[in-house]
Amino acid sequence: MKVLVVYYSMYGHIHRMAEAVAEGAREVAGAEVEMRRVPETLPVEVLEKMGAVEAQKAFAEVPVCTVDELASADAIIFGTPTRFGNMCGQMRQFLDATGQLWLKGALVGKVGSVFASTAVQHGGQESTILSFHVTLLHHGMIVVGLPYAFQGQMRLDEITGGSPYGATTIAGTEGQRMPSDNELAAARFQGEHVATIAARLAG
């Protein structure tokens, strides 16, 4: 049973969450878990201006995903930073290249799940995940979120991401806040939850 964690990260927050999602998925017996980045679409000069070049070096060794790889997975867990309350353009462009998979119904019945990151607490985490789900449903995927069985999403004693739609983190307007222990626990829970369901479907 193969789980792909497919993500884009500009400053490392989604990368850190992706590692935790993969860790959680690896807890499930028989799960083969791979991490993949979607291709960058911005020119280096723009990335430099955005202060992303140095940050992206930390995960440059993660292989870039091909569209065909999606068809070989039993479950795909997508991670994206928010752009104006939606997924980032790099992810959108990658998904817009999956028309051939859609035509063949290659993702029908696979498990799909999403995690996200915003700069600010109410910056659109839920709209990003829910609007992402629309694409997964067009592909016929079985959408899985982060159940309230992960009780950390109900915490009020600290500022935290987390939603029934998927794990989230709050990066800060300067990217100064890395995922908290609670947010990483949510990501691990989501990874394990998705892999458990995919294993049942495969079995």
Segment interacting with ligand FMN (CB under 6 A) among 41-49, 66-74, 112-120, 180-188: 112-120
Residue number closest to ligand FMN, CB atom = 123
Instruction: Please give the Cα distance from 181 to 186 (Å, whole number).
Output: 9
| 115 Cβ contact list (under 8 Å, min separation 6) | 14, 17, 18, 21, 77, 78, 79, 129, 166, 167, 168, 187, 190
Segment interacting with ligand FMN (CB under 6 A) among 68-76, 116-124, 131-139, 183-191: 116-124
Smallest separation (angstroms) from ligand FMN to the CB of 2: 24
Please report whether residue 180 would count as binding ligand FMN according to CB under 6 A. no
Q: Which is nearer to ligand FMN, 56 or 66 (CB)?
A: 56
Segment interacting with ligand FMN (CB under 6 A) among 92-100, 107-115, 120-128, 153-161: 120-128
- Do you know the residue count of the chain? 203
**Extended strands (E) in 64-157:** 75-81, 111-118, 142-143
Please report whether residue 84 would count as binding ligand FMN according to CB under 6 A. yes
SS3 content of the chain, % helix, strand, coil (to 5): 40, 20, 40
Instruction: For residue 143, list its beta bridge partners.
Output: 112
Segment interacting with ligand FMN (CB under 6 A) among 34-42, 61-69, 114-122, 150-158: 114-122
Q: According to CB under 6 A, which residues from 145 to 174 bind ligand FMN?
A: 171
Under DSSP, is residue 146 helix (H, G, I), strand (E, B) or coil? coil
Segment interacting with ligand FMN (CB under 6 A) among 4-12, 70-78, 130-138, 140-148: 4-12
* Sign of the four-CA dihedral 164, 156, 189, 5: positive
Smallest separation (angstroms) from ligand FMN to the CB of 122: 8
Please report whether residue 119 would count as binding ligand FMN according to CB under 6 A. yes
Q: Which is nearer to ligand FMN, 14 or 25 (CB)?
A: 14
Please report whether residue 117 would count as binding ligand FMN according to CB under 6 A. yes
Instruction: For residue 76, list its beta bridge partners.
Output: 4, 112
Q: Pick from 2, 9, 22, 136 the residue near ligand FMN by CB under 6 A.
A: 9
142-143 and 111-118 as β-strands: parallel, antiparallel, unpaired? parallel
